[in-house]
Amino acid sequence: MSVRRRTQNGEGGTPALIVLVLPGGKASDRRRSKPWQVADLRMSSFTRTLRRSCPEVEVRQVRYLLRGWNGADRSPVHDVRRILDDLRPAQTPVVLVGHSMGARVAAVVADDPLVCGVLALAPWWPEGEGGCVPTGRRMVVVHGTADTWTDQAASRRQTTLAQARGLDARWIGMAGTGHTMLRHPGRWHRIAVDFVRDQTRRCTPSNVS
């Protein structure tokens, strides 16, 4: 497991927020992750955009130890839990931006007290993982209506259920867009930037009573 990180707010500065970018992966694959995997490269553009557009925030892209979810092992969940444990002493709020399997990881670890928001892009939630995000967080789900890899109808239902139990949640459909987010990439990126900026206002100590 590794994290590509960059501090953008000056030498020795404390970021207002930390964003963990969580790439996708396979349902089952115990090979070691590599930086040139398509899932990682796909999220690199989001990482670059967020760093450029949100200079007060520290953006870290996670590379899991293994490539797959791997059933009951939930391999990437442990990776991200360890990162959150490492971040705990500073108590800086964390936003999770996850695609596909990364959105599944984000939903599961959203119970960590540091996490204030989840942006789920084309989430893979086969076991109702949208229900793992506790109230007190904010969740935005973005899903292409032409996605044939993950179930956009299921993510919409899970978002509706989350709203019903009191979660601040919203579902955004991307008409005609598939799983890879290659169509209208600028819109996907704008949603991510807007979400992070909004969470920076909501979650930073100066804005919390």
Segment 70-129, tens digit of pLDDT: 999 999 999 999 999 999 999 999 999 999 999 999 999 999 999 999 999 999 999 999
Tokens standing for 83? 């990162």
Say yes or no to pLDDT of 11 above 50. Answer: no
CB contact at 8 A, 103 and 124: yes
**pLDDT value of residue 10:** 44
Query: Which residue reads 């450029």 in tokens?
Result: 52
Distance CA 181, CA 150 (A): 12
The mean predicted confidence, pLDDT, of the chain is 94
Express each pLDDT in 150-170 by its tens digit.
999 999 999 999 999 999 999
Comparing 1-5, 96-100, 116-120, 130-134, the range with the smallest average pLDDT is 1-5
Q: How large a percentage of the chain has pLDDT more than 90?
A: 89
Say yes or no to pLDDT of 16 above 60. Answer: yes
**pLDDT value of residue 207:** 52
Distance CA 174, CA 147 (A): 9
**Mean per-residue pLDDT, 16-35:** 97
Say yes or no to pLDDT of 205 above 80. Answer: no
Distance CA 5, CA 10 (A): 14
Q: Using alpha carbons, select from 197, 206, 203, 205 the residue that is nearest to residue 57.
A: 197
**pLDDT value of residue 206:** 59
| Domain 2-7+15-126+185-202 falls under CATH 1.10.3720.10 | no
Say yes or no to pLDDT of 178 above 90. Answer: yes
The CA-atom distances, in angstroms, between 42 and each of 45, 121, 144, 186, 203 are 6, 12, 16, 13, 27
**pLDDT value of residue 208:** 47
What are the residue ranges spanned by the domains of the chain?
2-7+15-126+185-202
**pLDDT value of residue 13:** 76
If pLDDT is split at 50, 70 and 90, which confidence band does 204 have?
A: confident
Beta bridge partners, 94, equal 18, 115
